């Protein structure tokens, strides 16, 4: 029987959608930027002197490079303002953008295009609080004023031949850039909220487990203490009754042990797809890029066997991986559930064989007829665990 194609879990799909949203946002911003400067540069090439053409082309290259660097910094910059060094680094591409805008404006003989490109560079910075909105409004006023001054005072003849669309396109660069990045900030904030919700849910579950364990053990220990106290008092005058209390205490110990085991089983009973999704979220929170592939029937896999394996392998990746990417997959193949956890090492000497919890994984899956294989393939480390499908979830 052929195995169904693995599908991405909802958490992995959401994380992929967030990345796609960023690339769509960045590509849209750069597309508008490139089209604007190249259209205006084309006008300069067709009408300007050789010096004007050189200045315009140099300004075009610098402006585009500044936009790319600013977007890279914007993507990596944290939301909080604690990292002052990151704030200082952003001014290098900003200054490059301003200098390139001035060169481009001189080559094009246009105040409007110079001011518009400066405004676009400033609007690609993540400003604190409500500064961005006020900055966009101010820049729009300045750009429009520059447009009016140039069209009526500086170069009225040139605007007779230039179409209205090109100056308008350049004028709208700054507000369109700011609006796109504002939308990305909303998406990123929602992603942070989703991750925080997952961590809060895990913390609440641990607190609930701790409360249940405290109530269970507290009750049984109190009963056992009373039974042993009665046995101690009755030991001299009624040995048979004292022995009966000792036997009752032993029964209470068995009940406490059984209750603890049942409680632990409920805790371990997290569905395996959720276990894998939580592991992927944990790795992403640590800064890794994670691919997660889960079989559509993964809910039938033995969570009590593979769940601890997922947690152990995730811990190994965090402690010993040292890389920037990882992948987790669970599928069915030839009558077995196959769990594969792979990560890059980046020069880290990750042990293959005993140690690092690998022997514990092998001991866990061995009694149910499973196998564990750990291999290093170049700069990738892979753990493959196979468990027969006959093992019940």
pLDDT given for residue 65 in this prediction: 92
Query: 231-290, pLDDT tens digit by residue?
Result: 888 888 888 888 888 888 888 888 888 777 776 666 555 678 888 888 888 788 777 888
Q: Is residue 132 part of a domain?
A: yes
Last residue of some domain: 243, 268, 293? 268
Counting the structural domains of the chain, the total is 3
Q: Is the domain of 260 the same as that of 294?
A: no
Q: Is residue 2 part of a domain?
A: no
Q: Is the domain of 279 the same as that of 379?
A: yes
Q: Is residue 313 part of a domain?
A: yes
Report d(CA 111, CA 391) in Å as an integer. 74
pLDDT given for residue 284 in this prediction: 81
Query: Which two three-digit tokens encode residue 259?
Result: 């209750």
Position 223 confidence tier, pLDDT thresholds 50, 70, 90:
confident
Report d(CA 42, CA 80) in Å as an integer. 41
Q: Is the domain of 143 the same as that of 214?
A: no
Answer for the pair 292, 327: CB distance below 8 angstroms, yes or no.
yes
Query: 130-177, pLDDT tens digit by residue?
Result: 777 788 888 888 888 888 887 776 665 655 445 566 778 888 888 888
Sign of CA dihedral 81, 82, 83, 85: positive
Mean pLDDT of the 295-300 span: 82
pLDDT given for residue 155 in this prediction: 63
Q: Is the domain of 34 the same as that of 82?
A: yes
Q: Is residue 160 part of a domain?
A: yes
Last residue of some domain: 159, 193, 227? 193
Task: Tell me the percentage of the chain whose pLDDT exceeds 90.
Answer: 7
Report d(CA 150, CA 171) in Å as an integer. 13
pLDDT given for residue 213 in this prediction: 75
Q: Is the domain of 240 the same as that of 373?
A: no
Residue 213 neighbours by CB distance under 10 Å: 15
Output the domain CATH number for residue 361.
3.30.565.10
Query: 355-367, pLDDT tens digit by residue?
Result: 446 788 888 888 8
Rounded to an integer, what is the distance from CA 119 to the centroid of its chain?
Answer: 31
More confident residue, 379 or 7: 379
Residue 86 has pLDDT above 60, yes or no: no
Output the domain CATH number for residue 215.
1.20.5.1930
Last residue of some domain: 151, 170, 193? 193
Report d(CA 126, CA 260) in Å as an integer. 52
Q: Is the domain of 219 the same as that of 279?
A: no
What range does the domain containing 182 cover?
A: 11-193
pLDDT given for residue 4 in this prediction: 42
Q: Is the domain of 180 the same as that of 44?
A: yes
Residue 197 has pLDDT above 80, yes or no: no
pLDDT given for residue 185 in this prediction: 85
Q: Is the domain of 335 the same as that of 346?
A: yes
Q: Assign 3-class secondary structure to the chain.
A: CCCCCCECCHHHHHHHHHHHHHHHHHHHHHHHHHHHHHHHHHHHHHHCCHHHHHHHHHHHHHHHHHHHHHHHHHHHCCCCCCCHHHHHHCHHHHHHHHHHHHHHHHHHCCHHHHHHHHHHHHCCCCCCCCHHHHHHHHHHHHHHHHHHHHHHHHCHHHHHHCCCHHHHHHHCHHHHHHHHHHHHHHHHHHHHHHHHHHHHHHHHHHHHHHHHHHHHHHHHHHHHHHHHHHHHHHCCCCHHHHHHHHHHHHHHHHHHHHHHHHHHHHHHCCCHHHHHHHHHHHHHHCCCEEEEEECCCHHHCCHHHHHHHHHHHHHHHHHHHCCCEEEEEEEEECCEEEEEEEEECCCCCCCCCCCCCHHHHHHHHHHHCCEEEEEEECCEEEEEEEEECCCCC
Task: Tell me the percentage of the chain whose pLDDT exceeds 70.
Answer: 80
Residue 379 has pLDDT above 70, yes or no: yes
Q: Is the domain of 91 the same as that of 232?
A: no
Partner residues linked to 325 by β-bridges: 289
**Whether the predicted model's global pTM rises above the 0.75 cut:** no
Q: Is the domain of 63 the same as that of 31?
A: yes
pLDDT given for residue 393 in this prediction: 52
Q: Is the domain of 95 the same as that of 174?
A: yes
Q: Is residue 48 part of a domain?
A: yes
Rounded to an integer, what is the distance from CA 99 to the centroid of its chain?
Answer: 35
Q: Is residue 4 part of a domain?
A: no
Out of 14-28, 191-205, 242-256, 322-336, least confident range = 191-205
Answer for the pair 91, 129: CB distance below 8 angstroms, yes or no.
no
């Amino acid at each position: 029987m052929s195995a169904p194609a693995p599908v991405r879990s909802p958490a992995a799909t959401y994380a992929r959608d967030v990345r796609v949203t960023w690339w769509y946002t960045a590509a849209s911003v750069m597309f508008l930027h490139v089209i604007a400067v190249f259209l205006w540069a084309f006008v300069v090439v067709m009408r300007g002197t050789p010096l004007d053409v050189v200045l315009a082309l140099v300004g075009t290259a610098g402006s585009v490079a500044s936009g790319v660097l600013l977007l890279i910094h914007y993507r990596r910059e944290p939301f909080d303002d604690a990292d002052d060094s990151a704030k200082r680094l952003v001014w290098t591409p900003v200054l490059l953008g301003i200098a390139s805008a001035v060169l481009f404006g001189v080559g094009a003989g246009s105040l409007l295009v110079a001011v518009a490109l400066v405004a676009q560079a400033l609007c690609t910075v993540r400003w604190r609080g409500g500064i961005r909105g006020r900055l966009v409004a101010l820049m729009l006023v300045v750009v429009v004023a520059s447009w009016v001054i140039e069209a009526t005072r500086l170069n009225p003849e040139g605007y007779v031949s230039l179409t209205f669309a090109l100056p308008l396109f350049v004028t709208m660069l700054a507000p369109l850039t700011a609006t796109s990045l504002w939308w990305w900030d909303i998406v990123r904030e929602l992603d942070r909220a989703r991750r925080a919700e997952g961590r809060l849910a895990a913390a609440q579950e641990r607190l609930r487990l701790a409360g249940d364990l405290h109530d269970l053990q507290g009750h049984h220990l109190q009963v056992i203490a009373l039974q042993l106290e009665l046995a101690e008092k009755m030991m001299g005058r009624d040995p048979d009754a004292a022995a009966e209390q000792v036997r009752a205490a032993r029964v209470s110990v068995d009940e406490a042990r059984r209750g603890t085991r049942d409680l632990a089983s409920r805790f371990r009973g997290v569905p395996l797809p959720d276990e894998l999704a939580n592991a992927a979220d944990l790795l992403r929170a640590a800064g890794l890029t994670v691919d997660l592939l889960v079989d559509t029937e993964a809910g039938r896999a033995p969570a009590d066997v593979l769940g601890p394996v997922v947690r152990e392998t995730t811990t190994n990746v965090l402690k010993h991986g040292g890389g920037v990417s990882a992948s987790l997959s669970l599928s069915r193949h030839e009558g077995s559930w196959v769990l594969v956890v792979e990560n890059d090492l980046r020069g880290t000497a990750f042990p293959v064989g005993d140690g690092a919890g690998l022997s514990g994984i092998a001991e866990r899956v061995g009694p149910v007829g499973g196998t564990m294989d750990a291999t290093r393939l170049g700069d990738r480390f892979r753990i493959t665990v196979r468990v027969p499908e006959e093992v019940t979830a």
